[in-house]
Every structure is written in structure tokens, then in C-alpha cells.
């Protein structure tokens, strides 16, 4: 009897071991998979952050270098005088613009700018590579004073400046502005303004190789609205979709981190987030993937562990039941042998 008890005890202990081993292994495996998934998101986040910051720094460098070009300074001086004499349609003005049109068109074509503006220090838009409604108006006193181009001009008088994306009706796209002061020696002539399309940044944000079916990268401004397009929404979401999540709040407060959160769709995601190191904007960069997809492998293991645990438990309980049943039958048989008259 003692040997049977020992055998039963060993059997139960072994069964418990078989049930706990997969559970313990699963916990370690789940942690490892989560770490690996987060590491991938962080890698994508840092590479993308480097690209975005580099893109904007390059645009800053472009407008600064172009504003410092002596040819541009000469153009400001000549165009400002011609404009003040006879406006945009004067013969002298037309003659001078013909000299600078090829240079500005080169930048539009090679750099993909939407437009280039020369604005004198008094606020007059004395030249635009492509004639638009701003041309010939005054950005200090006219109706465009509060527009993006007026705002960037005002800041561009003091140094290189940036103005956030706004909708450009004529080209049906969002655009932003960069500006830099133009000098002749120590004398301020005006401000050079370049207008760039959102499609440049969008091309960077939509490179989702290695991000699976639900992985996405997006930007959120400090006003809480997207500065990029969502892969899950057909319509543009830049400056249209508000995002207020734990990750965006942390990132806009300067916190760099990773977390499992509910995203702007209400879906549980793995999120890696950071603020961009750009002095002129406070934007959050987020790289995310649905938890269901990121942990698909471990979820499969979890289901199998549960099934295995259930099977082991059933076998264990069945074994204990059968052993106890046999033991009870033996006890009953022994009792009947000792008391044969009890049957009758």
C-alpha cells in the first residue's frame, strides 16, 4: 500500500510539473517576444526620426543658402525698385523677372518646391516663381497678414523660420513654408520664402516595409492633430484627425518610451514614441503595430499551452479517479471476504 501511495504521489507531482512547465516557459517566451517586437519598433522609430529631422534640416539649409546667394540679393534690389516704380506689369519689372525666372524654375523642378517668393522688407511680395494671389500684395498690411505666408515672413525677418502645413487650394495639397532673410552686406533687403508640398514628407511616412499588416508611423502636432496620413483611413488625416493617447501625451511632453496602449482607433497596440528634435515645432513621432499581430506567435503558443494544460489536467484527474476507484473496490472486496455473511 505504501508503494502505491508513493507511486500516486510521484504521479501527481510529475503531472503538476508537466502543467507548470509550459506555463512558466510561456511567460518567458511572451516576455522575449514583446521585447523583440518593441526593439523592432524602436529601430524603425529612430531611423524614421533621423530621416524626418534630416529632411527638415535640409530644407532649412536650402532656404538659408539660397537667401545668401548674391544673385538672389541682386534680384531683390532690382525687383524691389522696378515693383515700386510700376508694379508687377511694368516693362522694366517684366524684363528683370525674365532674368530670374529660369533660376527659380530650376529650384521648383529639381527640388520639388511649390513656389518661391521674394518679399521685400516692407512686406511687398515683389516676385513669385509661379504667379499666385499673394504676388503684389503686402504681407504686413494686406489681407494675407494672418495667413501662413504672412506669419513666416514676419519671423523670417529675424532668421530662418518655418510655418506649419496649411491647405493650398490651387494645387489641392497641404504645403508649408520656410523663410530666410536676404541681406546686402549689413542691410536687410527682405525675406526669401519657399513653399514645399506635404507629398515630400508623406513619401517618407508611408514607407512601411517590415511593418506587417497593421504597423504604421505617424506624426502628431502639439495641437493634437496628425501631421501625416493614417494607413487605416482613406481620406487625408493631416490636420484633420485628432489624436489624444497616452503615447502622444508622453511624447509631446518630451518623454521617449514604449508602451502597450489604446491607439486613436481604440485598438490595443505596441507603441514606440518620441518627440522630434526640431526647434521650430513640437511634434510627436509614433511607430505602432496592433498587439494582435505583433504577438500572433505567442498567442498561438498560449492557446496550445491552454489546450495542453487542459489535457494534462484531465489525464491527471482521470488517473486519480481510476486509482481511487480501484482502491475502493479492493477495500470493498477485502471487507466482503472478511464478512461473507454481510452479503446475505
Q: How confident is the model over 243-275, as pLDDT tens digits? A: 999 999 999 999 999 999 999 999 999 999 999
At residue 290, the pLDDT reads: 95
245 φ, ψ (degrees, to nearest 5): -125, 170
At residue 57, the pLDDT reads: 92
At residue 18, the pLDDT reads: 56
At residue 33, the pLDDT reads: 80
Q: Residue 300: count other Cβ atoms within 10 Å of its Cβ.
A: 10
Q: Which residues contact 77 (CB under 8 A, 6 or more apart)?
A: 184, 189
**What is the helix (H) or strand (E) element at residue 288, kind and residue range?**
strand 283-290
**What's the grid cell of residue 254?**
518630451
CA distance 83 to 11: 99
CATH superfamily assigned to domain 68-200 = PAS domain (3.30.450.20)
Domain ranges of the chain: 68-200
Nearest to 154 by CA among 190, 186, 118: 190
CA 319 to chain centre: 56
Q: Using an 8 Å Cβ cutoff, are 190 and 120 in contact?
A: yes
CA distance 199 to 261: 29
At residue 10, the pLDDT reads: 62
CA distance 160 to 153: 10
168, β-bridge pairs: 173
H-helix segments, the chain: 2-67, 70-86, 91-111, 148-156, 198-205, 246-252, 291-294, 296-338
Q: Residue 132: count other Cβ atoms within 10 Å of its Cβ.
A: 18
The SS3 call for residue 40 is: helix
The SS3 call for residue 236 is: coil
CA distance 341 to 107: 115
Mean pLDDT, each 10-residue run in order, the chain (344 residues)? 57 59 60 88 96 93 94 92 89 91 91 94 94 90 92 95 92 94 94 95 88 94 95 93 97 96 96 92 95 76 61 69 70 67 52
Compute the chain's Rg from CA coordinates: 35
As to burial, measured by CB atoms within 10 angstroms (0-12 exposed, 13-18 middle, 19+ buried), residue 116 is buried
98: Cα within 13 Å, side-chain hemisphere? 7
CB burial of 148-185 (b: ≥16 within 10 Å; e: otherwise) equals: bbbbbbbbbbeebbbbbbbebeeeebbbbbbbbbbeee
At residue 322, the pLDDT reads: 72
Amino acid at each position: 500500500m505504501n508503494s502505491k501511495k508513493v507511486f500516486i504521489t510521484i504521479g501527481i507531482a510529475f503531472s503538476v510539473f508537466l502543467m507548470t512547465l509550459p506555463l512558466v516557459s510561456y511567460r518567458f517566451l511572451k516576455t522575449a517576444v514583446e521585447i523583440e517586437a518593441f526593439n523592432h519598433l524602436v529601430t524603425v522609430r529612430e531611423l524614421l526620426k533621423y530621416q524626418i529631422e534630416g529632411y527638415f534640416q535640409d530644407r532649412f539649409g536650402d532656404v538659408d543658402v539660397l537667401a545668401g546667394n548674391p544673385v538672389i540679393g541682386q534680384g531683390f534690389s532690382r525687383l524691389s525698385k522696378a515693383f515700386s516704380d510700376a508694379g508687377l506689369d511694368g516693362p522694366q519689372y517684366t524684363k528683370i523677372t525674365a532674368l530670374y525666372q529660369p533660376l527659380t524654375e530650376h529650384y521648383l523642378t529639381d527640388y520639388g518646391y511649390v513656389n518661391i517668393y521674394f518679399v521685400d522688407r516692407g512686406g511687398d511680395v515683389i516676385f513669385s516663381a509661379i504667379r499666385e494671389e499673394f504676388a503684389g500684395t503686402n504681407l504686413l498690411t494686406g489681407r494675407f497678414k494672418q495667413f501662413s505666408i504672412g506669419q513666416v515672413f514676419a519671423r523670417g525677418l529675424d532668421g530662418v523660420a518655418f510655418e506649419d502645413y496649411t491647405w493650398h487650394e490651387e494645387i489641392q495639397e497641404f504645403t508649408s513654408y520656410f523663410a530666410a532673410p536676404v541681406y546686402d552686406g549689413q542691410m536687410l533687403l527682405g525675406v526669401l520664402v519657399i513653399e514645399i508640398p506635404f507629398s515630400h514628407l508623406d513619401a517618407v511616412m508611408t514607407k512601411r516595409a517590415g511593418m506587417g499588416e497593421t504597423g504604421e508611423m505617424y506624426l502628431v502636432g502639439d495641437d493634437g492633430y496628425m501631421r501625416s496620413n493614417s494607413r487605416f483611413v482613406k481620406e487625408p488625416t493631416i490636420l484633420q484627425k485628432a489624436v489624444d493617447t497616452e503615447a502622444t501625451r508622453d511624447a509631446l511632453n518630451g518623454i521617449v518610451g514604449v508602451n502597450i496602449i489604446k491607439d486613436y482607433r481604440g485598438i490595443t497596440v505596441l507603441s514606440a514614441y518620441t518627440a522630434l528634435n526640431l526647434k521650430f515645432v513640437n511634434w510627436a513621432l509614433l511607430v505602432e503595430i496592433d498587439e494582435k499581430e505583433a504577438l500572433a506567435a505567442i498567442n498561438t503558443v498560449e492557446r496550445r499551452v491552454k489546450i495542453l494544460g487542459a489535457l494534462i489536467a484531465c489525464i491527471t484527474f482521470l488517473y486519480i479517479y481510476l486509482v481511487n476507484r480501484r482502491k475502493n473496490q479492493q477495500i470493498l472486496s477485502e471487507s466482503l471476504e472478511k464478512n461473507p455473511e454481510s452479503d446475505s
